Amino acid sequence: METEKMISSRKAVRQYNGQITDEQLHKILLAGNAGPVGMGEYDNYRLTVIQKPEVLNKMSGIYDAPTVIVVSAKNPDTMEDISAGAIVHNMELAAEDQGLGANYNMASVGSIPSDVLPDGFKAVFALTVGQTSEKFVPREISMDRIKTNIVK
């Protein structure tokens, strides 16, 4: 999808009807790795892909998503929160560019079992993803959805 169309078609999808393929997952993870992080310190972050039903069942607020990708960080602070947002946003775009449904997810962060995360890392942000029957068409986005002042 071309960039401008992708940006206006992107949306939060909370209804999923099937698991993603490993090839689709690969493209999403590649996009996550292409995301910017503060100071370029990529080793401060980890991605954990959760597809195991027993683990997903313990997590809240994930809308029965068949895949949740968690961004965790060593010492989460503002820099890590923002970087995790950039990583998740890249992954969301890569998922929806493939026609998958995806959404940013903070709701599950506190319920992610710590034993699935690498030692010393804490969950910061997550992406829910799965097959969807929703269609992606460019949306009319109002210029004042986010109130803006221009200083010049």
Query: Does residue 30 belong to the site contacting ligand FMN (CB under 6 A)?
Result: no
Query: Does residue 61 belong to the site contacting ligand FMN (CB under 6 A)?
Result: yes
Q: Judged by CB, which is closer to ligand FMN: 83, or 103?
A: 103
Q: What residue is closest to ligand FMN based on CB?
A: 107
- Quick note: the x/- pattern for ligand FMN over 103-122, rule CB under 6 A, is xxxxx---------------
45 burial level (CB within 10 Å; 0-12, 13-18, 19+): buried
Helix residue ranges, H only, 69-151? 78-97
> Segment near ligand FMN (CB under 6 A), from 22-30, 47-55, 101-109, 110-118?
101-109
**Rounded to an integer, what distance in angstroms lies between the CA atom of residue 118 and that of residue 123?**
10
Do 10 and 88 touch, CB atoms closer than 8 A? no
- Binding to ligand FMN (CB under 6 A) within 6-25 occurs at 11-12, 14
129 φ/ψ sector (left φ>0, alpha ψ -120 to 50, else beta) = beta
Contact set with ligand FMN (CB under 6 A): 11-12, 14, 61, 85, 103-107
